[in-house]
Amino acid sequence: MNLLAADIVERFYTFLWPMLRISALLISAPIFSLKALNLRIRIFLGLSLTWLVYPLHDWPKIDPVSAQGLIEIFNQISIGLLMGLTLQVITAAILLAGQSISNAMGLSIANMMDPNLGNVPVIAQFLLILSTLIFIGLGGHAMLLSLIIESFTTMPIGKQLVSQAAWVQFVTWSSMIFLGALLTALPVMVALLFVNIGLGVATRAAPSLNIFSVGFPAMIAAGFAVLMIALPSIGNRIQWLWLQGFIQVRMLVGII
């Protein structure tokens, strides 16, 4: 009985390390971090993936309550969180692009309650749904799971810590929130700028024209028309952002 208990504890110690990295990824990554996937589903996914990965490697036997074990716990959680948050930068960029388009159209007060992101403008919610469909269409969920499995080969447990270069890379990559939002929203915002200039010229030429009764409906109608025309380019830009995010994740775990 003592031998059985010792064997169970030893297996638990080795099972814990891949479980921590995979669980941290499921908490922070797109799709898997949605509120629709409740805690029970995430625990089941984490256990299932760990069970599939467990026979593929020889795991180190590290006491989790020792100094080395506490460092390793922080290290594995950091790796999973960095992989997930690297892709969440894309979600933040798309959200910012939707907010910018909503403000340019005059729909900044037309908000929806998103269970994951809070109070979100309707255009931003539409772009987030579009980006989620593109992510699934690209097979992003499968690529992400394959990357976390490959990371156990390139970043073995107990061999190395997350380097300073990885943190610097993540901070540098976070600037894509603003660059990605600008590249995504630029076609619509430039077109609406010219519409706004035209309304200003019309108001100057005809002072009796009520800008509030004519300008706001014109901006909303022009905004929806330009958004429909620009949807293919916006979709291509979102696809490019997701692919760049996966390249960053591969660089982070040392696959590239």
Output the CA torsion sign for 151, 48, 27, 110: positive
Token couple for 37: 């996937």
User: 118 falls in which pLDDT band (50, 70, 90)?
Assistant: low
Identify the pLDDT of residue 1.
47
Pick the range with the lowest mean pLDDT from 38-47, 177-186, 241-250.
38-47
Question: How many domains, in total, are found in the chain?
Answer: 1
Alpha carbon of 195 to those of 191, 213, 226: distances in Å? 6, 15, 11
Q: Please tell me the pTM assigned to this model.
A: 0.84
Identify the pLDDT of residue 110.
65
User: Residue 57: which domain range?
Assistant: 2-252
Half-sphere exposure of 231 toward its Cβ, with a 13 Å CA cutoff?
12
Identify the pLDDT of residue 2.
52
Token couple for 246: 């996966």
Identify the pLDDT of residue 120.
77
Angle at 8 between CA 4 and CA 10, to 5 degrees: 115
Cβ neighbours of residue 210 under 8 Å, at least 6 residues apart? none
Does the pLDDT of residue 111 top 70, yes or no? no
DSSP H or E stretch at residue 246: helix 211-252
Mean pLDDT (whole number) for 233-251? 90
Average pLDDT, the chain: 82
